[in-house]
Structure 1
Amino acid sequence: MKREPLSRTRLVGAAAELADHDGFAAVTVTALARQVGVKPASIYSHVEDLAALLEGIHELALGELADHVAGAIAGRSGRDALAGMAQAHRDYAGRHPGRWAAMQRPAGPAVAGSPAARKIVEYTWAVLRAYGLPEPELVHATRFVGATINGYLALEKAGSFEHRAEHTDLSWQRAVNALDRALQTWTEAHPEGTA
């Protein structure tokens, strides 16, 4: 069987698979070269350096997550859309732990300005606009929702909830309900951008 030629797209995809299988910290140029069956020097013909490779994983993950979110919120609004968006994040984090870890790093300018990042923002703001949030509040609400979802998922992944018998799915639903209530009263709590 003929081997697929090396390309940036192939290498980033293979690095993302490596991250999911062995952990994000395991992604190195040497490990990637071993995985695709080439010498490390061959990687540099397609990817500038390790930092560029890790940024590539970040952008790939954002694009994939955006596609999941789009499907999860289609035709929904309010709490249903919020729950769909949150669950899309949770499902993606569970299926792709290495890619999820890549998204927890600060994005460089190229990733932050990428079409994938713009899609995530677009879908998130579509969900939040249904709550009647004015444009100046969208950034603050996005940070709040993101911190809640990411914080929950980080604690869940770390096993921080395992010492209690109550199932984490119920706690997750409680968290989504709390987000929904907070967003419903957002403009009352913060009229015209007050602190």
Structure 2
Amino acid sequence: MSPRIGMDLDIIVKAAIELADREGMSEVTLATLAKSLDVRPPSLYNHVKGGLPALKIEMAKRGYSQLNRRLTDASVGRSMDAAVLAFGMAYVQFVRDHPGLYEAMLMVAIGADEELQDIQDQSIRIIIQVMEGYGLGEHGTLHAVRGLRSILHGFASLEQHGEFGLPLEKDESLTKSINAFLAGIR
């Protein structure tokens, strides 16, 4: 069977991301995706060799690439605390904007795809650059990177699952958490 005219991997990945952000990754199957694109499920295999696992890798590549752009844009021209705060806010806003895509990014095993690994490594290099100004040394910087990533992921995940029910401004809570982290690494 030949590929459908006008259908390509880019269209399929975009539709999968939209479906994931709207309904959650649990709803992203080849059947639901085919239905949303008005094609038969076998038609997707013409463009996504490897089925759903390969599609998740493509989604993760898009997600990490988009996240990397946001993190770079947020931290460029800033240093130290201002860069870390902007970086943190950009990270959490990305998850707010793309909850399903973020979930897809975390579903793919490290090393599952060489290109994806390079994109994921770029994410780490961005945060390392932001943290290097604190003079923590190589190991200290890496520990700080792990700590900051844990704070941001934890905050974003809790918020994504509706765990912040108290009537407090969430961005203020995030800023206070990041500032407490920054005070701790000094």
TM-score by length of 2: 0.88
CA displacement 1:96-124 (0-9 Å, x = unmatched)? 11111122335341167534213211211
Conservation of the 8 A alpha-carbon contact between 1:111 and 1:117: no
1:141 to 132, 139, 144: 144
Q: How many residues align?
A: 181
| Superposed CA RMSD | 1.9
CA displacement 1:16-48 (0-9 Å, x = unmatched)? 111011111110001111122211111111211
| Alpha-carbon distance in 2 for matches of 1:138, 1:158 | 30
The verdict on how the C-alpha distance between 1:93 and 1:131 changes in structure 2, with shifts beyond 3 A counting, is: same
Give structure 1 regions of 4+ aligned residues with deviation exceeding 6 angstroms: none
CA displacement 1:39-77 (0-9 Å, x = unmatched)? 111111121111111121111100000001111001101
Other-structure match for 1:130: 133
TM-score by length of 1: 0.85
CA displacement 1:128-182 (0-9 Å, x = unmatched)? 11111222333322221111111111112222221x3332222111101012112
Q: How does 1:84-103 map to 2 (within 5 A)?
A: 84-103=86-105
Q: Is 1:172 paired with 2:174?
A: yes
User: 5+ unaligned residues in a row in structure 1: which ranges?
Assistant: 185-195
Q: Is 1:158 paired with 2:161?
A: yes
User: 5+ unaligned residues in a row in structure 2: which ranges?
Assistant: none
Conservation of the 8 A alpha-carbon contact between 1:72 and 1:88: yes
Q: How does 1:60-99 map to 2 (within 5 A)?
A: 60-99=62-101
Other-structure match for 2:38: 37
Identity, % of aligned positions: 29
TM-superposed CA distance for 1:8, in Å, is: 2.1
| Alpha-carbon distance in 2 for matches of 1:104, 1:16 | 14
